[in-house]
Amino acid sequence: MIGIVLAAHGPLPAAFLESTNMILGEMPQVASVSLMPGDSLEGLTDRLRAAVNVVNTGDGVLILLDMFGGTPANAAAFLAQQTNDVYAVTGVSLPMLLETCMARMSMEGSPQEVPLRSLAETALSAGHAGIVDIVEAFKKFQQVKIDQESIGT
């Protein structure tokens, strides 16, 4: 199974993991790494490497990060350049994390494990789909409902 590491500024990674565990149940092979005030890039890179090693059982690791260009992303980019079995995606959100974990769980135990790149693409797609202008979505829903009522459906 592909491991997942959440890395971000402050307590965000632990909060994402706690929320995911609340919704989906305890997630195996998932770790969180936080950048806290005063942490160095080198120290964060060492902690990120350790987390990757803990969750990697041979199928690779997907690192989900808060933002491109931040210290966690820079540390992840450094690790991804050093090994072929680490992939990183920025812009982590709860919908992205949930969809990624569910995709990973759906393939568990099947003869074809989810390739690391494919799981990263799932994360990217879920991240994009999770961004919704709820006011516009609600307006569209109301219009569809009105249209259906007017034609007697």
Active centre residues (catalytic): 9
Side chain identity at 87, as an amino acid letter? Y
Interatomic CA distance for residues 27 and 10, integer angstroms? 21
Using an 8 Å Cβ cutoff, are 8 and 72 in contact? yes
* Angle, helices 94-107/12-24, rounded to nearest 10 degrees: 50
**Amino acid letter, 86:** V
C-alpha–C-alpha distance, residues 102 and 100, integer Å: 5
> Which of 71, 116, 120 lies closest to 92, judged by CA?
120
